[in-house]
Structure 1
Amino acid sequence: MYVSEQEVRAVLTYEVLIPAIRQALIDYAAGRVNQPPRMILRAGNAEDYRNGWFGVMPVVAGDVMGVKTVTFYAGNDELGLHTHMAIVELIRRETGEPLAVMDGRLITEMRTAAVSAVAFAGLAPLHFDSAPSSFGIIGSGVQARAHIAALRHVWPEMREIRIASRKASNATRLAEEVGARSVPVEEAAAADVVLTATTSHVPVLQGKWLKPNAFVLAVGASGASVRELDDEAMLSSYVVAEGRSCVERESGDVILSGAKVEAEIGEILAEPSAANIPRGQRIVFKSVGMAIEDVTAARLVWHALQ
């Protein structure tokens, strides 16, 4: 069975995806998921930033197995194409039978935002004395829009959204769509919660702009040699990883700054009373994307179509 993006969109919702991702992250931290490192090959299609990459992400979890093949081409923006495209194959673990092949672009979009929503819901009550109200976004693309939608499911106190982008016109357009304000990057960075969702290879968020107890969701900067946050932002923060080994291996924000990963989100979700989340220090939640999240979403789609 081939499942198109339109079919995925018709059945996959944040209401079911967010709790499923939460459990998947707990299972991953508990060692119940067999997920080898992502393999990445450079496409060699260009000598500059347009040089794309091709990733292969397998996983075995629960009653299914799966693999996502994903491409990232930063230059696609200029062509009017998505920068990320993907395919997910879902397989029955018991027999090895292929269950479905489905378009993975929307799955990637939604699971990334769902992971951040899970992290916010788990960490914010441990970090803030009272619920935060302002949300600053650096970036105006797919993930900016997806994160607004996902976080609204777990953050009813969100009152103000500030959007900054390399192209001010893009920030203005998104702000008009979602009821936000287009602002300079320093003002977006001064919010209670800050999202970095760009394709930049160099830092777009400086620590000097952040509140002393800011909560940063860092989801861009794909690769060990690129980053979105400067040294001050990283080294002044308590760093929580989506998956410790994945982030330590693949995140330029962590590798290039020398920051230490203090905890893994699944551990905190499983036992929040044991977490030592600081209230007076900044938090950075860093995600790089994991196969368990893609297969979790694909499994939801598969069952919804039965």
Structure 2
Amino acid sequence: MKVISAEEVHASLSYPQLIDSLQEAYGGSYSMPPRQVFLLDENKGNDAFAVLPSWNEELIGVKAFTYFPGAEEPYKSLYSKVLLFNRDHGEPLALVDGTTVTFWRTAGISGLATRLLSREDSETMLLLGTGNLASYIIKANLSVRSLKKVMVWGRNLEKAKSVIDSVSVEYPDVQFEAIEDRAAACAEADIVVAATGSHEPVVLGQWIKPGTHTDFIGNHHADKRECDTELIKKAKVYADSRVNAFKEAGEILVPISEGSFTEEGVVAELSEMCNGKALLRENEDEITLFKSIAGGLSWHDALLPLSDVHGAWVIVFICYILITTFAVLNVITGVFCESAMEAADNDRDLALQKHMSKRKRSKKRSRRSKRSGPSRRSRRS
């Protein structure tokens, strides 16, 4: 079984390959029972453990993570691992750093939605949010569209500049700009991605021009949202999962509660977008909106302890669809497959050499024994 670290995940993945794998995975078939979340101390209600299983015809996988919000240095508040098995005979294949996989995967889905829904001639992107996912999202979107300009907005302008500094050196032909005027930037952008975790709209429908693709990643609360009702009403709406969107996506649920939108207004979910059953962008003037629940803004922001109406603590967990993690893991394990096979060949060669050497020594002893005749003991007798 291969143990794959966060560093190895980074080294083995690239967005063009990953997004292709995600599209293939979402277009296929899989089984995914409900995720299991356990509060470890119901009196305190903070520390939690979660298990998320899934499988397809080739693989069995389970993601497990712990969430300890009160953790102090040197410990982290969240630890996550993904364990992968062979579907045919159950052999463990890999133990992978789960947090890094999730960052890659969540941004990969943003890139996949951009590939499927945005105009092919899109040139300008606006990212709202400066959290852990920011650089991943920029890279994923740049891998599917030939963008000339990327704008980054955050409540802290210095953090927006820091995000740009972390990615701009890799894209010398792209203009990067940290901005403060959201309205003007939204009006300019061909692609708008929000990953803020904001409880109030950060994107208004009146700011969005015809032909824009919008993508909302950060919010996972039924009564909170990153865009307003006007945008939902004027856009062609898609979601990664209808079931999860109708439980957790305030961008969709708030307009439904207002009577301004219906569940039938969601054109398709990601599996239908990937298997060819859904109508995608039909003209250059459509505004498209993709709502992602399966990913999260960051582990910290997506695992917020909230107080419900009864005063009990609940944990709002990332809706993490493990089957799409298989796409990530297939890419990762594929990188190590060749070296693993080489190592196995080397082991077999070494074993064969040892075996042949042992046989040669045995034959030499046998020949010496024959030349020397009977043993002393047999001659005495």
Q: Same fold (TM over 0.5)?
A: yes
CA deviations over 1:228-256 (Å, ceiling 9, x no partner): 22222223221111223232233232222
Pairing of 1:122-133 with structure 2 (within 5 A) = 122-124=116-118, 128=119, 131-133=121-123
Pairing of 1:141-180 with structure 2 (within 5 A) = 141-156=131-146, 158-179=147-168, 180=176
Greater alpha carbon shift after TM alignment, 52-61 vs 12-21? 52-61
CA deviations over 1:185-239 (Å, ceiling 9, x no partner): 2233221110001122332222222223321111111343432222222232211
In structure 1, the partner of 2:227 is 229
Greater alpha carbon shift after TM alignment, 1-10 vs 147-156? 1-10
- Does residue 186 (structure 1) correspond to residue 183 (structure 2)? The answer is yes
In structure 1, the partner of 2:21 is 20
In structure 1, the partner of 2:4 is 3
How far 1:143 sits from its partner (Å)? Answer: 1.7
CA distance in 1, matches of 2:115, 2:161: 28
CA distance in 2, matches of 1:44, 1:230: 38
- Does residue 65 (structure 1) correspond to residue 55 (structure 2)? The answer is no
Distance 1:275 1:202, change over 3 A: closer
Instruction: Name the aligned partner's letter for residue 188 of structure 1.
Output: A
Distance 1:82 1:163, change over 3 A: farther
Pairing of 1:295-306 with structure 2 (within 5 A) = 295-306=326-337
Q: Does the aligned pair in 1 maintain the 2:239–2:292 contact within 8 Å? A: yes
CA distance in 1, matches of 2:291, 2:86: 31
How far 1:54 sits from its partner (Å)? Answer: 5.4
TM-score, normalised to structure 2's length?
0.68
Pairing of 1:20-169 with structure 2 (within 5 A) = 20-27=21-28, 32-40=29-37, 55-70=50-65, 85-124=79-118, 128=119, 131-156=121-146, 158-169=147-158
CA distance in 2, matches of 1:42, 1:255: 27
- Does residue 265 (structure 1) correspond to residue 270 (structure 2)? The answer is yes
Instruction: Name the aligned partner's letter for residue 208 of structure 1.
Output: Q
Task: Give the match's secondary structure for 1:33.
Answer: coil
Instruction: Name the aligned partner's letter for residue 60 of structure 2.
Output: M
CA distance in 1, matches of 2:279, 2:236: 16
Task: Give the match's secondary structure for 1:295.
Answer: helix
Q: Does the aligned pair in 1 maintain the 2:267–2:278 contact within 8 Å? A: no
Q: Does the aligned pair in 2 maintain the 1:137–1:189 contact within 8 Å? A: no
Q: Does the aligned pair in 1 maintain the 2:16–2:144 contact within 8 Å? A: no
TM-score, normalised to structure 1's length?
0.83
CA distance in 2, matches of 1:72, 1:134: 37
Distance 1:39 1:189, change over 3 A: farther
Q: Does the aligned pair in 1 maintain the 2:83–2:96 contact within 8 Å? A: yes
CA distance in 2, matches of 1:70, 1:4: 15
Q: Does the aligned pair in 2 maintain the 1:56–1:67 contact within 8 Å? A: yes
Task: Give the match's secondary structure for 2:200.
Answer: coil
Unpaired runs of 5+ residues, structure 1, are: none
Instruction: Name the aligned partner's letter for residue 182 of structure 1.
Output: A
CA distance in 1, matches of 2:122, 2:100: 28
Q: Does the aligned pair in 2 maintain the 1:90–1:299 contact within 8 Å? A: no
Unpaired runs of 5+ residues, structure 2, are: 169-175, 295-320, 338-381
Greater alpha carbon shift after TM alignment, 90-99 vs 171-180? 171-180
Greater alpha carbon shift after TM alignment, 229-238 vs 51-60? 51-60
Q: Does the aligned pair in 2 maintain the 1:168–1:182 contact within 8 Å? A: yes
Share of identical aligned residues, percent? 28
For the aligned residue pairs, the C-alpha RMSD in angstroms reads 3.2
CA deviations over 1:263-288 (Å, ceiling 9, x no partner): 12332333379546454332111112
How far 1:5 sits from its partner (Å)? Answer: 0.6
Task: Give the match's secondary structure for 1:34.
Answer: coil
CA distance in 2, matches of 1:149, 1:80: 30
Q: Does the aligned pair in 2 maintain the 1:37–1:246 contact within 8 Å? A: no
Distance 1:40 1:138, change over 3 A: farther
CA distance in 2, matches of 1:177, 1:33: 36
Instruction: Name the aligned partner's letter for residue 207 of structure 1.
Output: G
Instruction: Name the aligned partner's letter for residue 269 of structure 2.
Output: E
Task: Give the match's secondary structure for 2:236.
Answer: strand
Greater alpha carbon shift after TM alignment, 91-100 vs 141-150? 91-100
In structure 1, the partner of 2:289 is 284
Task: Give the match's secondary structure for 1:57.
Answer: strand
How far 1:44 sits from its partner (Å)? Answer: 8.0
Greater alpha carbon shift after TM alignment, 246-255 vs 61-70? 246-255
Instruction: Name the aligned partner's letter for residue 126 of structure 2.
Output: G
How far 1:161 sits from its partner (Å)? Answer: 0.9
Distance 1:254 1:42, change over 3 A: farther
